[in-house]
């Protein structure tokens, strides 16, 4: 029986990856650490901001202090907020699916993005109050593929709905190999969407779809 649904954010609700890439480059290119869009897809997608900056410095053999990392994260957040202020379109079907679940099943958001990145976009989409709990990069020590964020999402849902939620009865909606590994590592099943990677890269999901348009709550129940 389906007990809860947990959505990833970037690449599932909105196509923010090109926007994150642009914001990263605004900070990294002046430092001589810029990289191509293909490199972003191959190496950086799925990382939270902390690990993405750490990886960029590591690849170039550069050291990065905690204070420098803090300033880079702050600068990237400001750049991203400026970029998304012009509006962001959701993926087809996702807003309708979230609204159909909200209030009918425990619903969580589990993202490697910062809360400050997510909040203005949820406001634009009218989804601010749709999720019962949210877990963002601000709240975990390890980013996906580590299962920490999904474990925390399930824990918070269990606290919000005592006796009604367990990982084995929960579905995660993900778009990356790192996200799938994180969710399955925490014991959830995964519905994967080919928004960011081809289906053959999304191994570990119990179902892979090209779009969430046409996916409904009853279809999700069949996956558990």
Task: Give per-residue pLDDT as tens, 79-91.
Answer: 998 998 888 889 9
Q: Is the pLDDT of residue 99 over 90?
A: yes
Per-residue model confidence (pLDDT) at position 6: 98
Per-residue model confidence (pLDDT) at position 96: 97
Q: Is the pLDDT of residue 154 over 80?
A: yes
Fold annotation for 4-15+88-221: Rossmann fold (3.40.50)
Q: Is the pLDDT of residue 24 over 80?
A: yes
**Domain 17-84 in CATH 1.10.150.240:** yes
Task: Give per-residue pLDDT as tens, 183-221.
Answer: 999 999 999 999 999 999 999 999 999 999 999 999 999
pLDDT average, residue stretch 97-108: 97
Query: Predicted confidence band at 132 (pLDDT cuts at 50, 70, 90)?
Result: very high
Per-residue model confidence (pLDDT) at position 66: 96
Per-residue model confidence (pLDDT) at position 76: 94
pLDDT average, residue stretch 124-128: 94
Q: Is the pLDDT of residue 46 over 80?
A: no
Looking only at Cα atoms, what is the longest distance across the chain? 52
Q: CA-to-CA distance for 112 and 145, rounded, in angstroms?
A: 10
Query: Predicted confidence band at 117 (pLDDT cuts at 50, 70, 90)?
Result: confident
CA distances from 29 to 33, 61, 79, 95, 130 (A): 5, 16, 13, 35, 37
Strand blocks (E) in 66-214: 107-110, 133-135, 170-174, 189-193, 207-209
Domain extent listing, the chain: 4-15+88-221, 17-84
Per-residue model confidence (pLDDT) at position 134: 98
* Topology match between the domains 4-15+88-221 and 17-84: no
Q: What are phi and psi of 61, to 5 degrees?
A: 65, 30
Per-residue model confidence (pLDDT) at position 9: 95
pLDDT average, residue stretch 19-35: 96
Mean pLDDT of the chain: 95
Q: Which of 224, 223, 222, 185 is nearest to 204 (CA)?
A: 185
Q: Is the pLDDT of residue 78 over 80?
A: yes
Per-residue model confidence (pLDDT) at position 7: 98
Query: Predicted confidence band at 114 (pLDDT cuts at 50, 70, 90)?
Result: confident
């Amino acid at each position: 029986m389906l007990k809860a649904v947990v959505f990833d954010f970037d690449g599932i609700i909105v196509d923010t990856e090109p926007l994150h890439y642009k914001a990263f480059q605004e900070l990294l290119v002046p430092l001589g650490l810029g990289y191509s869009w293909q490199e972003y897809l191959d190496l950086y997608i799925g990382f939270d901001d902390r690990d993405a900056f750490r990886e960029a410095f590591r690849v170039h053999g550069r050291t990065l202090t905690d204070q420098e990392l803090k300033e880079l994260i702050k600068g990237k957040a400001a750049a991203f907020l400026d970029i998304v202020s012009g509006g962001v379109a959701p993926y087809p079907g996702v807003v309708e699916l979230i609204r159909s679940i909200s209030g009918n099943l425990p619903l969580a958001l589990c993202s490697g993005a910062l809360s400050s990145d997510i909040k203005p976009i949820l406001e634009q989409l009218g989804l601010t109050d749709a999720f019962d709990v949210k877990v963002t990069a601000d709240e975990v020590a390890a980013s996906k593929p580590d299962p920490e964020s999904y474990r925390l999402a399930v824990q918070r849902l269990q606290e919000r709905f005592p006796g009604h939620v367990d990982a084995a009865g929960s579905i995660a909606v993900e778009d990356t190999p790192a996200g799938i590994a994180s969710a399955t590592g925490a014991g959830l099943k995964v519905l994967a969407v080919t928004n960011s990677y081809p289906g053959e890269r999304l191994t570990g999901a119990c179902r892979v779809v090209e779009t969430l348009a046409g996916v409904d709550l009853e279809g999700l129940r069949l996956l558990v």
